[in-house]
Structure 1
Amino acid sequence: MTTVSEATDSTVTAQRRELGVFLRSRRERIRPDEVGFAPGGRRRTPGLRREEVALLAGVGVTWYTWLEQGRDINVSTQVLDAIATALRFDRQERNHLYRLAGIRFGPTQSVCSALPPSVQKTLDAVSPYPAVVLNERYDMLAFNEAYCKVIIDLNQVPVEERNLLWAHFVSDAWQCSMVDDEKAKHHMVAAFRSASAEHLGDALWQDLIHGLLSNSPYFAELWERYDVDSPSTRTKLLDVDGFGLLRIEPINLWLSQLGPLRATVYTALDDETEVKLRKIVEAPTRPACRAARTLD
């Protein structure tokens, strides 16, 4: 039987290994001339060398090498800040670095496994706007009838497959929102990668990741980019059979009292879409949704 101590050690080891891979992926993206180094000379790997990152960050080469190798060494926020600056991290990448290094700011929120009835009442009340509750893993925990009519009929999807990433990258049932939206898929994987830093020892997270990697070459391609981001929304244009184009503007409502959960509500961007949404929800059957594109 695995003890708590063994499970904790395993998680820490996984975080250190992920930290090394993340740092390596980022230094390989920076051209030497971008940070003041001569571009000439033979280089076995693209981007910066470890000693160049160490020089820019003001740390020892051996220490930085150990950090990339996932060794058990102490790191401070000051040193992490220096490395993040050297590698030109943005805010999301810097926060991801902190998570992998085990540095937390504020209390860790717990995820509520059972939603109170008030959440479902709220989702039903915003109809005809489609609405769904998601956790950090993109599990679809609750939804309203409008979501089933406009986006995907989750009543026809097995509970174990009600995951937005699985729907986008694997499931045949997903026929609507963001199917052909490469930017949206890229963003979802980056946000998922960022959130996964705090769940490296969680079997549910690892099972989902392995399942996506095994069943979707495109997810695997995006996953290997090691991009990180936070959940956000962009205006979408849906093409629904019998109703034409719908201009949708999603908004995220964070359910802070329940942990890192959010309700995504797909609001109408104009009066015409408002009317169409009401007609779709009132229709006896779900219309087909041909495609969805994101508006820049």
Structure 2
Amino acid sequence: MPNHSRPLVDQLDRRQELGAFLRSRRERVTPDEVGLPQTGRRRTPGLRREELALLAGISATWYTYLEQGREIRASEQVLESLASVLRLNRHERDHLLRLAGHHTPPTDPEPFEPLTTEVASVPLLLRPHPAYIIDGNYDVLTHNQPAADLFPNLTAPADRPPNFLRWVFLEPLARDVLADWEPEARGLLARLRALAGRHPTDPRYTRIVDELHEHSPEARSWWPRYEVQARHSGRKRLRPPGRTIPVTYTYTAFHLAEQPEQTLVIYFAEAEAEAEAGADAGAG
């Protein structure tokens, strides 16, 4: 059974996680992408350790120690060189630096600040558009009825705070509502990975990671891939209850000024947006 009392940093030693992250990224870069010739049959995908070390201008032995989780300290310059060869995006680079101790997270969980009445009522003001406010670990702090209708059983089970990650991975209806369930779920898990890396001692992240590992085979399979993303706005294809054809929704995320990891998310059906635009044009 998962041990919820242990902080994430104790369960996943930071050096071991750094090595696993580097290895996962090394395996996805092909020799062709970095200008190396293909030489014979390769036993592993991606670059070899010595190839990556050569391209980054560091010792192959030293890089091997780094990937093995040995107790060595990598300079920011070396990490930047590795990030460049591995073609890390901005969020992956930040995650690499944080794992290596160059962006040291707080040693204690940030105090949880409950929503004020004024902030909690914002989704109600946004009806008929689905809207909710989530915390950094995707607990749903408040939501309106259109959101509850669009994401059925969002508040189940009743013995714990509603959580959007739990809904996506563990609620069977989520696979019907999310027309593109797998890429949506993988992206959500990658965003959790980035947020958990910033709060390694916060038990709220430990609990949701443990719960997903215990109950979701997909989460267990995808978590070791060390994919990281930042929260963002975008588009989703959703099937509202009673609909068989997906509807494309635009969703926008706003971070709260006082609690930047609390996020207001608003959904707007694109067909509705087009109808409103046409009405505005006619009125003009």
When the two structures are superposed, what TM-score results if normalisation uses the length of structure 2?
Answer: 0.81
Compute the RMSD of aligned alpha carbons. Answer: 3.1
Cα deviation 1:14-57 (Å, max 9, x = unaligned): 22111100000111112223223232145442221211111111
Q: Residues 161, 212 of structure 1: CA spacing in aligned structure 2 closer, same or farther, 3 A cutoff? A: farther
Q: Residues 164, 241 of structure 1: CA spacing in aligned structure 2 closer, same or farther, 3 A cutoff? A: closer
One-letter amino acid of the counterpart of residue 165, structure 1: L
Residues 1:220 and 2:220 are matched in the alignment = yes
Give 3-state SS (helix, strand or coil) of 2:218's partner: helix
Distance 1:260 1:174 in 2: 24
Give 3-state SS (helix, strand or coil) of 1:52's partner: helix
Give 3-state SS (helix, strand or coil) of 1:92's partner: helix
Residues 1:146 and 2:146 are matched in the alignment = yes
Once the two structures are overlaid, the 10-residue window that deviates more, 76-85 or 263-272, is: 263-272
Equivalent residue pairs, number: 269
Q: Residues 59, 125 of structure 1: CA spacing in aligned structure 2 closer, same or farther, 3 A cutoff? A: same
Residues 1:194 and 2:194 are matched in the alignment = yes
Aligned equivalent of 2:68: 69
Aligned equivalent of 1:47: 46
Contact 2:138 2:163 in 1 (8 A): yes
Give 3-state SS (helix, strand or coil) of 1:251's partner: strand
Cα deviation 1:211-232 (Å, max 9, x = unaligned): 2122111222222322211112
Give 3-state SS (helix, strand or coil) of 2:231's partner: coil
Q: Residues 154, 183 of structure 1: CA spacing in aligned structure 2 closer, same or farther, 3 A cutoff? A: closer
Aligned equivalent of 1:122: 122
Q: Residues 99, 10 of structure 1: CA spacing in aligned structure 2 closer, same or farther, 3 A cutoff? A: same
Contact 1:235 1:248 in 2 (8 A): yes
Residues 1:30 and 2:15 are matched in the alignment = no
Distance 1:172 1:42 in 2: 43
Aligned-pair distance for 1:163?
Answer: 1.4
When the two structures are superposed, what TM-score results if normalisation uses the length of structure 1?
Answer: 0.78
Aligned-pair distance for 1:242?
Answer: 5.7
Structure 2 unpaired stretches of 5+: 1-5, 277-284
Aligned-pair distance for 1:167?
Answer: 0.8
Task: Report the identity percentage.
Answer: 35
Aligned equivalent of 1:254: 255
Contact 2:169 2:212 in 1 (8 A): yes
One-letter amino acid of the counterpart of residue 255, structure 2: W
Once the two structures are overlaid, the 10-residue window that deviates more, 188-197 or 31-40, is: 31-40
Aligned equivalent of 1:208: 208
Aligned-pair distance for 1:125?
Answer: 0.9
Aligned equivalent of 2:280: none
Distance 1:241 1:102 in 2: 46
Structure 1 unpaired stretches of 5+: 1-5, 276-296
Once the two structures are overlaid, the 10-residue window that deviates more, 125-134 or 99-108, is: 99-108
Q: Residues 249, 36 of structure 1: CA spacing in aligned structure 2 closer, same or farther, 3 A cutoff? A: closer
Distance 1:131 1:9 in 2: 33
Aligned-pair distance for 1:111?
Answer: 5.6
